[in-house]
Structure 1
Amino acid sequence: MTQRADVVVVGGGQSGLAAGYHLRRLGVDFVVLDAQSAPGGAWQHTWDSLRLFSPAAHSSLPGRLMPAQQGETYPDAGHVVDYLSDYEKRYELPVQHGAQAQAVRRDGGRFRVETEAGDWSARAVVSATGTWSRPFLPAVPGQDVFTGRRLHTVAYRRPADFAGQRVVVVGGGNSGAQIAADLALAGDVTVTWATQRPPRFLPDDIDGRTLFDVATARRRALDAGRSDTGGVASLGDIVAVPPVRAARDAGLLHAKPMFTRLTATGVQWADGSRSDADAIIWCTGFRPALAHLAPLGLRGPRGHIPTAGTRAVAEPRLHLLGYGDWTGPASATLIGVGRPARDAARDIAQQLSS
């Protein structure tokens, strides 16, 4: 039997919870459908040493400050999972876990959301599925002949899994720097860090608080028709969190220009030289997880759905939340998703009442 709600939020991670908080405050009838079996979103699946870029108080969802983690300036992923679990319970958000959305279809004047746990009928949908479930792996010459282990950021957990091995870490962003540092500091892993361009470290005193302010200022400038400030990208690519600083200052983080191909036993560099490798970790980013929206036929350039704020331009009953700056400044972060979630909830409430 198909169940009904005025609004279905697809995704129960940080973005879905922020949307739920604001929908509840506005008295909207809604349900949150989450593919995960437990609270915490993608934070349940990160590597062991991952830390937030900002202190707890500056990494909070609307309405509830994240408590500090004892002994840590920058909380770890487990602390974030605990926070999100508490948030879900504190606000009694109607989250159904283990209900992965497979398709969203138009159904007369409503949507039909098909899930593994049954179908839902809704007047509006908020898609908040994030990117973690859709890792991006670039095509590289020789990838079919390499006999070692190839994995993406999503599958990395800890240095002990690579003890005594030669590992190539690919990617000049935060994940690449953090995982390269994690392995290098372990002492029993031979690490080579390969990047498309020389890594750009942000000044050591800059963390997520500054990045959020810069991203917000850029969006305001663009919305006001002023020139593009460049945003976070103008400052650098890598936040120098303590482990990254430690590895960098110890001389353990030296990036090499990207290799040109894979060989059976490793990689080949532009000058023709080769390096053996037991494993390659691709820290090459993600794409928005939007397969469930495919039946709506809304995809535009670069796989994005064109939006005005969070609202889909071609389907105003659909809002997208938490996928990056194209759905709100810093909206893929804990602190940044609150404002676009509020705006989306207000727009939906007004739409439902008209």
Structure 2
Amino acid sequence: MVTTPQQLSTHPVYVIGGGPGGLAVAASLRERGVARVVVLEKSDAVGASWRTHYDRLRLHTTRRLSGLPGLRIPRSFGRWVARADVVRYLEKYAEKHELEVVTGVEVFRIEQAGPEWVLHATGGRRLVAGAVVVATGYNHTPYVPEWPGRDSYEGELSHARTYRNPGPYKGKDVLVVGAGNTGAEIAADLAEGGAGRVRLAVRTVPHIVRRTTLGWPAQRSGILIRRLPSGLVDRLGALLARFATPDLTAYGLPRPDTGLATRQREGAVPVQDVGLIDAVRTGKVEVVAAVDAFEGGEVLLADGTRITPDAVIAATGYRRALEPLLGHLDGVLDERGLPVVHGARCPRGVPGLYFTGFTNPISGMFRELAMDAEKIARRIARSGRRAGRG
């Protein structure tokens, strides 16, 4: 049963973050009769992170399994939706659901005030909320390790967040640091786009899976195995790897000695192959040891090698950066700076505070966001901590 606006709290529900997770929660709350849900987005438009990703990026999950509640992704976008089309979809999503999105407002601190919440935001704003949903994203703040000599490095060093396409690197010697999905795809993109030499520095060998095997997408396998025992998933993953992907040991990428599920528990998802395997086998991407330090214009690798690339791109991940926002609240963040719970659960003793988008599921981020959005909306409705006419 949908509760009428008169039964709701007098304060809005504030959703922090105008990416897919935040928009999905806002739409689900509206669908359940919430009179006022406000999405606060610090940039000037929804889907900000998708607007700044590299050009060739596509969803690694299928269009059919990536739609958010209340609006399917158009078939015309194809099976693997391109970055620009994801942005178009998110814009259409906010428009279709008539979401109240306030851009240019960043929330710096969230405080509990009795049964309500107080948000301290841009311009000295003090916003009172009946409930808060934090959807600022898993990939929030670019992270570059504090390698010795990094700050005095004489070469070109950038984070993968600023990479767009291989154009500026044509003919150059480029070192990509980090063999996650981003680093693997950027390395392949550079190799295909005319870089003179491409090396990929690897510290932890990743699991590599085909995006599809005989037409079957890796995402569907991820959904099927997600709740199986870790030991069984590790064994199944090893069997699938021997069937679906070649052994790249001779090229510097041996098969991992830890299983797929074991690695997932540590926060690492498999690398979906969108060109890396062929690039490595043909020598267009050279696998080298991890970066240990910088010295002058040289990069020192873990095996003692010294190299002098023209450019270094650090595909070294992101931090959630939730500590300034919530670190003062007991029992909300774990030792890694991640929420202790997510989805429809609130931290113990902290009712009315929800999180979405802070896991990295093998079954697909958009799918997880869609399910979390509906669970959060149901929970807020049932608890009575819902927005009224603000």
TM-score category, normalised to shorter length: 0.7 to 0.9
Gaps of 5+ in 1: none
Q: Secondary structure at the match of 1:312?
A: coil
Q: Secondary structure at the match of 1:324?
A: coil
Query: Is 2:365 the partner of 1:333?
Result: yes
1:316 offset after TM fit, Å? 2.4
Query: Is 2:287 the partner of 1:255?
Result: yes
Task: Say whether the 8 Å CA contact 1:69–1:79 is kept in structure 2.
Answer: no
Q: Secondary structure at the match of 1:87?
A: helix
* Corresponding pairs, count: 342
Percent identical residues: 31
Task: Say whether the 8 Å CA contact 1:184–1:191 is kept in structure 2.
Answer: yes
Cα distance change of structure 1 residues 158 and 227 upon mapping to structure 2, 3 Å threshold: closer
* Aligned residue in 1 for 2:128: 121
* Aligned residue in 1 for 2:17: 11
Task: Say whether the 8 Å CA contact 1:159–1:189 is kept in structure 2.
Answer: no
Cα distance change of structure 1 residues 295 and 30 upon mapping to structure 2, 3 Å threshold: farther
In the alignment, which of 97, 105, 109 is matched to residue 111 of structure 2? 105
CA distance in 2 between partners of 1:40 and 1:77 (Å) = 10
Task: Say whether the 8 Å CA contact 1:5–1:120 is kept in structure 2.
Answer: no
Query: Cα deviation per residue 1:96-132 (whole Å; 9 max; x = unaligned)?
Result: 1111111111223211112215332112110000033
* Aligned residue in 2 for 1:64: 71
In the alignment, which of 86, 96, 100 is matched to residue 94 of structure 1? 100
Q: Secondary structure at the match of 1:336?
A: helix
Task: Say whether the 8 Å CA contact 2:60–2:211 is kept in structure 1.
Answer: no
Q: Secondary structure at the match of 1:111?
A: strand
* Aligned residue in 1 for 2:248: none
Query: Cα deviation per residue 1:130-167 (whole Å; 9 max; x = unaligned)?
Result: 03331221222222331112211111112112233221
* Aligned residue in 1 for 2:354: 319
Task: Say whether the 8 Å CA contact 1:212–1:336 is kept in structure 2.
Answer: no
1:308 offset after TM fit, Å? 6.2
Task: Say whether the 8 Å CA contact 2:18–2:41 is kept in structure 1.
Answer: yes
Amino acid at match of 2:272: V
Cα distance change of structure 1 residues 208 and 179 upon mapping to structure 2, 3 Å threshold: farther
Cα distance change of structure 1 residues 331 and 135 upon mapping to structure 2, 3 Å threshold: farther
Query: Is 2:151 the partner of 1:144?
Result: yes
Amino acid at match of 2:381: A
In the alignment, which of 218, 221, 231 is matched to residue 210 of structure 1? 218
Amino acid at match of 2:356: L
1:20 offset after TM fit, Å? 0.8
Cα distance change of structure 1 residues 65 and 190 upon mapping to structure 2, 3 Å threshold: same
CA distance in 2 between partners of 1:271 and 1:308 (Å) = 40
* Aligned residue in 2 for 1:80: 86
1:255 offset after TM fit, Å? 1.6
* Aligned residue in 1 for 2:271: 238
Cα distance change of structure 1 residues 221 and 246 upon mapping to structure 2, 3 Å threshold: closer
Cα distance change of structure 1 residues 49 and 319 upon mapping to structure 2, 3 Å threshold: same
Q: Secondary structure at the match of 2:212?
A: coil
> 5 Å matches for 1:174-193?
174-193=181-200
TM-score between the two structures when normalised by the length of structure 1: 0.86
* Aligned residue in 1 for 2:319: 287
More deviation in 205-214 or 113-122?
A: 205-214
CA distance in 2 between partners of 1:349 and 1:227 (Å) = 38
The runs of at least 4 aligned residues of structure 1 exceeding 6 Å deviation read none
Cα distance change of structure 1 residues 227 and 248 upon mapping to structure 2, 3 Å threshold: closer
Task: Say whether the 8 Å CA contact 1:56–1:69 is kept in structure 2.
Answer: no
* Aligned residue in 1 for 2:254: none
Q: Secondary structure at the match of 2:377?
A: helix
Q: Which has the higher contact order (CA 8 A, sep 6+)?
A: 2
* Aligned residue in 1 for 2:237: none
1:182 offset after TM fit, Å? 0.8
1:55 offset after TM fit, Å? 3.3
Cα distance change of structure 1 residues 330 and 13 upon mapping to structure 2, 3 Å threshold: farther
1:216 offset after TM fit, Å? 6.8
Cα distance change of structure 1 residues 305 and 42 upon mapping to structure 2, 3 Å threshold: same
In the alignment, which of 334, 340, 352 is matched to residue 306 of structure 1? 340
More deviation in 135-144 or 226-235?
A: 226-235
1:58 offset after TM fit, Å? 2.6
CA distance in 2 between partners of 1:353 and 1:333 (Å) = 27
CA distance in 2 between partners of 1:208 and 1:244 (Å) = 19
CA distance in 2 between partners of 1:213 and 1:199 (Å) = 18
Amino acid at match of 1:82: R
CA distance in 2 between partners of 1:182 and 1:38 (Å) = 27
* Aligned residue in 2 for 1:273: 305
Q: Secondary structure at the match of 1:340?
A: helix
CA distance in 2 between partners of 1:44 and 1:61 (Å) = 18
Query: Cα deviation per residue 1:73-107 (whole Å; 9 max; x = unaligned)?
Result: 42211100000000000011111111111111122
1:227 offset after TM fit, Å? 6.6
**RMSD over equivalenced CA pairs, Å:** 2.8
